[in-house]
């Protein structure tokens, strides 16, 4: 195995156009634009990109022309370029980086072996162990491991890269490979400790557990899978597969989608996992195809003039690097458009039950770019029911509340798009309606603070008045359950629509309740369902009792208040509670000698009528003494009629 020594040489770059951006973004069908064309000493092969230092390492080589066997080192920010030149008869082919340690690992074709480079100085640290015909190389930065696929050995060499030791940990056999049967290509998911190996000649893909260095599973992938990239956040793999890309579930290795790309075999593949953009090159083709890695559909295809080799990406500055057969490296910018989208929402402050009203959402764009394919959601409160949307917003079908979704095709700078959502109040309460921009389409939003808006409409219950009236000669009160009526004093109250109100009539001690009229009838409980304004009348009747007067002797008895004139009318009825004064008047031959029954004594008889009562007035005849004297010489008797003398 040969040790490589690198010499730095300046190379000119032609700068075309520049624009930098950063962050995780969303795109529409836009094409990357060329920033610079950098001349290379030989035909580019594979490349590695350090996303921390933004340096790009491109392996170059024209067959056995050792003068072209170099690793071009490009500063991705300034586009300044230097060349590291190895002392090797065969050229470098695969390059990868460990962004945590700033180390670069290069494999060489044939028996050239592999080498580690210090990314800060571009100096070779030393050779790395490998098997026969090493090609694809990847790193597990957190575990300080590098993995080299050895085509002729049919193994994966696991290298301990901690402290630049670069010692062999083990060789993992790949079943069915070796002796030049098939090329092996690698992709790694460090967060899941999974290494993926494609074996085109076997139409297979393997999963290796990097914690145990064992093959976990494999699956048949028709069409000869070659280049492979992985995205742990999506749990997806993308492999070049004839004239297209095959998308696989990273756990099961089942096909999720296939994406046709070009008319020749897809041979180059790079992923911007932050921006969910996949870049594909085809053999003998100048076209760079851009695939939306979320939908697995082609977003753009751009003709770059020369036939393309293998791409690379730097997601942190939205750069794409593509080698060409013209011995150049194209530097492309794939920055997203930016705009400040904002949302406001209005609605009435109050509404009654069953009322219909609108939440009005206004989507605005302060620019500078036009936003396409924007999604706005409005989480409706449970106090309302969606009816329709004049703006064409859809609803999830919930009977109460739910989410209305509005798709907006385009929002130009300065535009205000009004989105109306028509609802009906179905329950009382004060819960906000929360609107938010949930997808920004082709732009990156520059101000997250104005992407949400809420408005609260207080829904009041629908109420009806219940009015109680009292009539009749008696007295009493009417009360309600639930409370509200206490008539007496409060004879009208409002109740929620649908409320069932029970009225209870309670006469006072002098009266009886004799019935309902209006919204109730009869003498039982009055139960009213409040589906309109209603009136109920309670009738109370005074209790009456007879007062009877008897006379003993000659005289009359009269009453105040009138009714008794005994003499002729010796019995009368009076309302309960009435205070009746009886007066006894003897005739000329008698004297009044007293009351008995409900009164006693000889004074006035005062009777409170709280039951049937009887009073007797006694009159006594006035008497005088008749004295008879006999005189004269004779004798005789004197008698009287009536008897007594």
Q: Write b or e for each residue in 529-549: b if 16 or more Cβ atoms lie within 10 A of its Cβ, otherwise e.
A: ebeeebebbbbbbbbebebbb
pLDDT tier at 373 (50, 70, 90 boundaries)?
A: confident
Which pLDDT does position 350 carry in this prediction? Answer: 94
Let me know if domain 338-460 sits in CATH 2.30.30.230. Answer: no
Q: Which CATH superfamily is domain 9-22+30-335 in?
A: YVTN repeat-like/Quinoprotein amine dehydrogenase (2.130.10.10)
Mean pLDDT of 609-631: 91
Which pLDDT does position 30 carry in this prediction? Answer: 62
pLDDT digits (tens, 9 = 90+) for 550-602: 999 999 999 999 999 998 899 999 999 899 999 999 999 999 999 999 999 99
SS3 217: strand
Q: Write b or e for each residue in 355-386: b if 16 or more Cβ atoms lie within 10 A of its Cβ, otherwise e.
A: bebebbbbbbbebebbbbbbebbbebbebbbb
DSSP, residue by residue, 95-158: EEEETTTTEEEEEETTTTEEEEEETTTTEEEEEE---SSEEEEEEEGGGTEEEEEETTTTEEEE
Cα 296 to Cα 227: distance, rounded to the nearest angstrom: 17
For the chain, the farthest-separated pair of C-alpha atoms sits apart, in whole angstroms, at 206
Which pLDDT does position 494 carry in this prediction? Answer: 93
Mean pLDDT of 490-509: 93
Mean pLDDT of 100-116: 86
pTM: 0.59
Contact 132, 150 (CB under 8 A): yes
Helix (H) or strand (E) holding 251: none
Cα 534 to Cα 537: distance, rounded to the nearest angstrom: 10
**If you average pLDDT over each of 39-43, 417-421, 630-634, which comes out highest?**
417-421
Cα 470 to Cα 516: distance, rounded to the nearest angstrom: 9
Q: With a cut of 90, say whether residue 28 has pLDDT above it.
A: no
């Amino acid at each position: 195995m040969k040790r490589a020594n690198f010499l730095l040489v300046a190379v000119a770059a032609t700068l075309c156009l520049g624009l930098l951006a950063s962050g995780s973004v969303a795109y529409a069908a836009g094409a990357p634009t060329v920033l610079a064309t950098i001349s290379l000493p030989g035909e580019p092969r594979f490349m590695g990109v350090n996303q921390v230092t933004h340096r790009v390492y491109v392996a170059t080589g024209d067959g056995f022309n050792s003068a072209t066997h170099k690793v071009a080192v490009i500063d991705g920010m300034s586009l300044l370029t230097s060349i590291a030149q190895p002392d090797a008869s065969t050229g470098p082919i695969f390059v990868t980086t460990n962004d945590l340690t700033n180390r670069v690992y290069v494999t060489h074709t044939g028996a050239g072996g592999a080498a580690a480079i210090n990314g800060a100085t571009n100096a070779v640290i030393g050779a790395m162990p490998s098997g026969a015909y090493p090609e694809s190389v990847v790193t597990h930065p957190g575990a300080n491991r590098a993995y080299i696929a050895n085509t002729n050995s049919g193994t994966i060499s696991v290298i301990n890269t901690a402290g630049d030791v670069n010692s062999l940990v083990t060789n993992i056999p790949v079943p069915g490979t070796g002796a030049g049967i098939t090329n092996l290509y690698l992709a790694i998911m460090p967060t899941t400790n999974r290494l993926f190996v494609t074996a085109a000649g076997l139409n297979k893909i393997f999963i290796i557990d990097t914690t145990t260095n064992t093959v976990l599973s494999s699956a048949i992938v028709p069409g000869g899978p070659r280049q492979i990239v992985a995205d742990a956040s999506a749990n997806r793999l993308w492999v070049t597969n004839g004239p297209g890309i095959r998308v696989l579930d990273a756990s099961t290795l089942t096909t999720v989608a296939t994406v046709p790309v070009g008319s020749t075999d897809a041979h180059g593949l790079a992923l911007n996992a932050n921006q969910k953009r996949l870049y594909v090159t085809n053999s003998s083709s100048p076209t760079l195809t851009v695939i939306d890695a979320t939908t697995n559909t082609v977003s753009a295809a751009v003709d770059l003039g020369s036939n393309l080799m293998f791409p690379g990406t730097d997601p942190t500055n939205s750069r794409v690097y593509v080698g060409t057969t013209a011995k150049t490296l194209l530097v492309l910018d794939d920055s997203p458009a930016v705009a400040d989208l904002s949302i406001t929402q209005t609605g009435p402050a109050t509404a009654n039950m069953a009322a219909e009203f609108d939440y009005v959402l206004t989507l605005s764009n302060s620019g500078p770019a036009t936003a396409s394919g924007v999604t706005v959601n409005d989480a409706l409160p449970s106090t309302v029911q969606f009816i329709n949307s004049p703006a064409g917003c859809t609803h999830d079908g919930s009977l109460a509340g739910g989410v209305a979704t509005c798709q907006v095709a385009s929002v130009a700078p300065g535009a205000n798009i009004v989105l109306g959502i028509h609802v009906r109040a179905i329950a009382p309460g004060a819960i906000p309606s929360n609107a938010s921009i949930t997808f920004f389409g082709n732009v990156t939003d520059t101000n997250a603070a104005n992407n949400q808006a809420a408005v609260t409409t207080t829904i009041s219950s629908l109420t009806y008045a219940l009015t109680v009236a009292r009539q009749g000669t008696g007295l009493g009160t009417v009360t309600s359950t639930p409370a509200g009526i206490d008539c007496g004093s409060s004879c009208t109250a409002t109740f929620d629509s649908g409320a069932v109100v029970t009225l209870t009539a309670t006469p006072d001690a002098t009266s009886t309740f004799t019935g309902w009229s209006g919204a109730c009838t009869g003498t039982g409980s009055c139960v009213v369902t409040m589906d309109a304004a209603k009136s109920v009348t309670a009738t109370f009747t005074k209790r009456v009792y007879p007062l009877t007067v008897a006379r003993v002797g000659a005289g009359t008895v009269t009453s105040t208040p009138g009714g008794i004139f005994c003499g002729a009318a010796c019995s009368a009825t009076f309302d309960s509670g009435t205070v009746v004064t009886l007066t006894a008047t003897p005739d000329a031959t008698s004297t009044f000698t007293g009351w008995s029954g409900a009164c006693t004594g000889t004074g006035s008889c005062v009777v409170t009528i709280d039951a049937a009562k009887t009073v007797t007035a006694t009159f006594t005849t006035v008497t005088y003494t008749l004295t008879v004297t006999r005189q004269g010489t004779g004798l005789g008797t004197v008698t009287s009629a009536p008897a007594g003398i």
